[in-house]
Amino acid sequence: MLIGIAGMVGTGKTTLSRALSSRFGLQLALESVEGDNPWLERFYGDPDGMRRYALPLQLHFLSTRFASLRKMRGTGGSWVLDRTWYEDAEIFARGQYEQGFMSAIEWDLYRSLYAELLYSEAARPPRLLMFLDARLPIVLDRIATRGRAKEKDTSTTYWAAMHERYQRWIHDFRRCPVLRLDVRDYDLVRDPRAVEDVAARVRQRLDGELPQTELWPPRSMFGAA
């Protein structure tokens, strides 16, 4: 079984993924976008890098994402996944095209490959997709608060366009059941035990499918007893 966590940058996907992994004893697959990626430096460092390297950058993300999925499916068991493969293609790669960094013919090539990969066993849909929903001002405030340089230096226009793509995407998403969470309804940073409220909603959706042994409290997140 796989639970996918989706949502904008700054909505708390990793924090929630860790919390649910600890709460239910699920294996955890965290997103890693910068490790061993030979295209990132070219994409950001070359004066014309965004247009020259958008396609290979996104193909690299696609390749490594599906390689991770294949290994995860092969390992078996129950997992929580920080960001889904759907977002790689339907949010981020699409964004490269909509911003003009990827040409129409490159976008068609990318989409055709992505469509074929969706038929693979590794890409069978999650049992549940959890979408972390937040209004744009909340997202911008969280990005500013956590202070990551690349994110803080990115324009509001960029984040607004991404937010719009996410809203369109989740509105039309039909590949698996969706649990939509308003990030204003819980705060795992200030109140770690707020995960109980979220866990109850997950348990309601997946009654009988979660591991029998639930782990609480998760020491790795909230400190040793």
- In CATH, what number is assigned to the domain containing residue 180? 3.40.50.300
Considering the domain boundaries, does residue 220 fall inside one?
A: no
Number of domain units in the chain: 1
Considering the domain boundaries, does residue 218 fall inside one?
A: no
pLDDT in tens, 156-215: 898 999 999 999 999 999 999 999 999 988 888 788 778 889 988 998 898 777 765 554
Considering the domain boundaries, does residue 115 fall inside one?
A: yes
Q: What is the DSSP letter of 125?
A: P
By C-alpha distance, which of 179, 65, 73, 177 is closest to 132? Answer: 179
Could you tell me if 13 and 5 are in contact, meaning their C-beta atoms sit under 8 angstroms apart? yes
Considering the domain boundaries, does residue 174 fall inside one?
A: yes
Domain coverage including residue 52: 2-211
Residue 144, both tokens: 């500013």
Give the list of residues 6+ apart from residue 20 with CB closer than 8 angstroms, or none.
3, 5, 26, 80, 195, 198, 199, 202
Considering the domain boundaries, does residue 216 fall inside one?
A: no
Q: How far apart are the C-alpha atoms of 140 and 144, rounded to whole Å?
A: 6
pLDDT at 221 over 60: no
Reported pTM = 0.86
Could you tell me if 17 and 24 are in contact, meaning their C-beta atoms sit under 8 angstroms apart? no
Residue 119, both tokens: 């038929």
Considering the domain boundaries, does residue 223 fall inside one?
A: no
Q: Annotated catalytic sites, by residue?
A: 82
Considering the domain boundaries, does residue 222 fall inside one?
A: no
